[in-house]
Chain A
Amino acid sequence: MAAAMKGFVRFLPIALFLALVGALVWRLAHPGDTAIRSQLTDRPMPAFNLAPAAPGKPGLATTDLVTGKPHLVNLFASWCVPCITEMALLKQLQAEGVAIVGIDIRDRPDALARFLDNNGDPFAAIGADNDSVAQMALGSSGVPETFVVDGDGIIRRQYIGGLSASDLPKVRAALAEAAR
């Protein structure tokens, strides 16, 4: 009995080592999600009132989102590359009747105008967030991010990173759910 115990103890370090290697290999093969999600899902949109970012288009205030109809709130910027591909998809959603508003993070009016000219403009309103104040209030850590907000101004869903065509059914379903 004692001898068996001794043999077990002798191999314990190797067993521990193999367990550690196994854990590290598993983590390499399945890297964790490093995105920091907003804590505000299912909570009201924080209060902000952003000045218009583009001429001829209104800015964005929290109260504009409490209209009884769901909105997509897209955080974007002209200097953000994934935002370019996303614009065509947002345009598609806009054509389907989705109300889309933008929060333009740290941008210049001329750069924004060029961006909208080149990539299309799906936004009913764009607020300028040059000091990232609304972005921080929203718990967002980058661009692009898209929030589904219901008609009462409650955040229902957060999408981190650029939307792809395969995400559209999910977004439509989330909007339909928010409309209920």
Chain B
Amino acid sequence: MKRFLLALALALPAAPALADNDLAQPRWANEQLPDPRQEAAAQGLMGTLRCLVCQGQSIADSDADLAGSMRAMVRTRIAAGERPQAIRAWLISRYGNWVSFTPSVEPLTWPLWAAPVILLLAGLWLARGRFGKRR
């Protein structure tokens, strides 16, 4: 028990210093839309948008304030009837391709899309001697 209390006392000052604010998140940041079809569309889009603060998470996964604001923006616009593709295009026009978690097909990303095929062909080439000649 003593040990536990000591551990607790040591853990308390380790509470992270939050460079954040205590303002409540906008309503649609963490509340689902009443229409399941719209909510599904919003979820689908949010999973493919990158959080600008955490950079490795989608806005659906991130607890950052800005990610909450982005989720609220996505849900509000979907509820207003906007297409997910239009919302994605709007964000890309502000933040660049970086904000999208699904890479677009363009000359810059061709190597990315070609890499699996090239690696598979290279692997087959490496293993070519192993096929057929088993005796």
Contact = CB atoms under 8 A, between A and B. Distances in A.
Contacts of B53: 141-142
A166 to B, nearest CB: 23
Interface residues of B, number: 22
B26 A131 contact: yes
A107 B70 CA distance: 17
Given A106-B65, A133-B73, A141 B95 contact: yes
A139 to B, nearest CB: 3
Greatest chain A CB density within 10 A among B66, B91, B98 is at: B66
Contacts of B21: 77-79, 106-108
Contact of B20 (A46, A79, A137): A79
Contacts of B92: 39
A6 to B, nearest CB: 15
A132 B70 CA distance: 8
A74 interface: no
Contacts of A108: 21, 23
A137 to B, nearest CB: 7
B36 to A, nearest CB: 24
Contacts, number: 63
Contact of B69 (A39, A81, A136): A136
A57 interface: no
Interface in B69-97: 69-70, 72-73, 91-96
Nearest to A39: B96
A38 interface: yes
Given A34-B55, A106-B65, A136 B23 contact: no
A125 B94 CA distance: 24
A80 B69 contact: no
A108 B23 CA distance: 7
Interface in A78-118: 78-81, 106-108
26 contacts: A39-B92, A39-B94, A39-B95, A40-B94, A78-B21, A79-B20, A79-B21, A80-B19, A106-B65, A106-B69, A107-B21, A130-B23, A130-B26, A133-B73, A135-B66, A135-B69, A136-B66, A136-B73, A138-B94, A139-B94, A139-B96, A141-B52, A141-B95, A142-B52, A142-B53, A142-B66
Interface of A: 34, 36-40, 46, 77-81, 106-108, 130-133, 135-139, 141-142
